[in-house]
């Protein structure tokens, strides 16, 4: 705990953003309340993305009532792998990633065998709101299971790594690769025990990482270096993230993406209150970068113009990219 406090103090000098500033100056200021459902409900996000021509994992079905649970078999069809998740869940809770069938049962991505009844029970818990924000009744979403691109094999343990980019008014400001570990049960959520690794915005090269609030450079399960890895199609990810501003209208978001071996980059979810640990993974604060974007916006406003996603990506890469660890 002391280590973390010290690191946080050191980062303060580098413009680290705390939770109060994030909420007051960014979330409240840039995220219109009425637009929250678009990002807080993964089914609505998915529909919006499809309309905008943005790729997402295919939806197999929705279960909204107890009665509809009996439709599960029909929704799954003959598939051997799929994912069940609460539409309004967060932090990886309540998500069941089924990787295979096994003698009339199912095998999760972390190797646990579950019965059909257990899956039904899980769906029922989702419906009652066990995993939803504020405990509201929820819906269960059944979707395509993402198979990560083999590039991640050496630096990831089971499950699917994801790429999070913080986007301010359509400008990417910071990125992080999140790697599942044995501890995180195949999920890429940091508080479940996943690793956060900083990413250079200009190049898509990984920097060092943070795990359970410790600074690390090797994956604890695979022992391979997590830094210096070139993420494929980096500009594609940056453009995808920048375009999510047009998709949802929220000005301060965390865009979570995955790289599927067959389908390429996909949007997994959008977050209206993205966490602040990304700063530890990047050894860099968000404040200065956010101010630079705000200055740019003020400038463009004076000239009466706005920028396209491509132009915004270029701006971010020129200004925030190629950061040397010693400088940040």
Ligand X SMILES: Nc1ncnc2c1ncn2[C@@H]1O[C@H](COP(=O)(O)OP(=O)(O)O)[C@@H](O)[C@H]1O
Write out the residues near ligand X by the rule CB under 6 A.
57, 83, 85, 89-92, 95, 97, 143-146, 159-160, 162, 180, 187-189, 256, 268-269
SS in 3 state form for 270-309? EECCCCCCHHHHHCCCCHHHHHHHHHHHHHHHHHCCCCCH
Binds 296, which of Mg ion, ligand X, none (CB < 5 to 8 A, cut-off by type)?
A: none
Cα separation values, 154 from 109, 160, 221, 231, 260, Å: 17, 13, 10, 13, 16
**Residue numbers 9-38 binding Mg ion by CB under 5 A:** none
| Strand ranges, E, within 150-212 | 162-168, 171-179, 195-199, 206-211
Q: For residues 158 and 256, which CB has a smaller minimum distance to Mg ion in the complex?
A: 256
Binds 157, which of Mg ion, ligand X, none (CB < 5 to 8 A, cut-off by type)?
A: none
Residue closest to ligand X (Cβ): 188
Taking CB under 5 A as the binding criterion, the range among 48-56, 244-252, 254-262, 315-323 that sits at the site for Mg ion is 254-262
Binds 290, which of ligand X, Mg ion, none (CB < 5 to 8 A, cut-off by type)?
A: none
Binds 145, which of ligand X, Mg ion, none (CB < 5 to 8 A, cut-off by type)?
A: ligand X
Q: Which two tokens stand for residue 182?
A: 């044995």
Kindly write down the DSSP assignment for every residue of 208-259, as one continuous string.
EEEETTEEESB-TTT--B-SS-B-TTHHHHHHHHHHHHHHH--SEEEEEEEE
**Smallest gap, in angstroms, from Cβ of residue 91 to Mg ion?**
7
Residue closest to Mg ion (Cβ): 256
**Smallest gap, in angstroms, from Cβ of residue 191 to ligand X?**
10
Query: Residue 126 burial by CB count (10 A; 0-12/13-18/19+): exposed, middle or buried?
Result: buried
**Smallest gap, in angstroms, from Cβ of residue 153 to Mg ion?**
21
Strands 113-114 and 140-143: unpaired
Q: Which two tokens stand for residue 49?
A: 């993305």
**CA 168 to centroid of chain Cα atoms:** 15
**Smallest gap, in angstroms, from Cβ of residue 184 to ligand X?**
8
Taking CB under 5 A as the binding criterion, the range among 63-71, 133-141, 216-224, 255-263 that sits at the site for Mg ion is 255-263
Total residues contacting Mg ion (rule CB under 5 A)? 1
Q: For residues 190 and 207, which CB has a smaller minimum distance to ligand X in the complex?
A: 190
Q: For residues 89 and 170, which CB has a smaller minimum distance to Mg ion in the complex?
A: 89
Helix (H, G, I), strand (E, B) or coil at 89: coil
User: Distance between CA atoms of 177 and 307, rounded to whole angstroms?
Assistant: 26
**Smallest gap, in angstroms, from Cβ of residue 194 to ligand X?**
8
Q: For residues 40 and 256, which CB has a smaller minimum distance to Mg ion in the complex?
A: 256
CB 296 within 8 A of CB 171: yes
Binds 90, which of ligand X, Mg ion, none (CB < 5 to 8 A, cut-off by type)?
A: ligand X
**Smallest gap, in angstroms, from Cβ of residue 13 to ligand X?**
31
**Smallest gap, in angstroms, from Cβ of residue 54 to Mg ion?**
17
Q: For residues 11 and 140, which CB has a smaller minimum distance to ligand X in the complex?
A: 140
């Amino acid at each position: 705990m002391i280590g973390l406090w010290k690191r946080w103090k050191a980062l303060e000098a580098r413009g680290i953003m705390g939770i109060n500033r994030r909420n007051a100056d960014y979330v409240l200021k840039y995220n219109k309340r009425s637009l929250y459902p678009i990002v807080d409900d993964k089914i609505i996000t998915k529909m919006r993305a499809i309309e905008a021509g943005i790729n997402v994992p295919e939806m197999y079905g929705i279960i909204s009532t107890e009665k509809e649970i009996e439709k599960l078999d029909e929704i799954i069809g003959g598939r051997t792998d799929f994912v069940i998740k609460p539409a309004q869940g967060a932090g990886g809770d309540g998500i069941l990633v089924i990787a295979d069938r096994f003698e009339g049962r199912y095998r999760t991505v972390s190797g646990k065998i579950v019965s059909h009844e257990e899956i039904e029970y899980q769906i029922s818990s989702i419906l009652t709101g066990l995993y939803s924000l504020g405990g509201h009744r929820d819906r269960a979403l059944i979707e395509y299971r993402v198979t990560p691109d083999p590039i991640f094999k050496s630096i990831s343990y089971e499950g699917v790594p994801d790429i999070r980019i913080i986007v301010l008014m359509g400008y990417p400001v910071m990125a992080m690769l999140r790697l599942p570990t044995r501890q995180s049960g195949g999920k890429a959520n940091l508080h479940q025990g996943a690793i956060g690794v900083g990413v250079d915005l200009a190049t898509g090269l990984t920097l060092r990482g943070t795990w359970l609030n410790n600074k690390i450079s090797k994956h604890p399960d695979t022992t391979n270096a997590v830094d210096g890895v070139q993420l494929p199609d980096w500009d594609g990810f940056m453009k995808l993230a920048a375009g999510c501003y047009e998709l949802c209208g929220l000005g301060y978001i965390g865009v979570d993406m995955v790289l599927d071996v067959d389908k390429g980059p996909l949007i997994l979810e959008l977050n209206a209150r993205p966490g602040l640990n990304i700063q530890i993974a990047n050894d860099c604060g968000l404040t200065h970068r956010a101010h630079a974007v705000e200055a740019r916006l003020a400038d463009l406003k004076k000239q009466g113009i706005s920028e396209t996603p491509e132009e915004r990506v270029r701006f971010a890469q020129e200004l925030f990219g190629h950061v040397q660890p010693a400088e940040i």
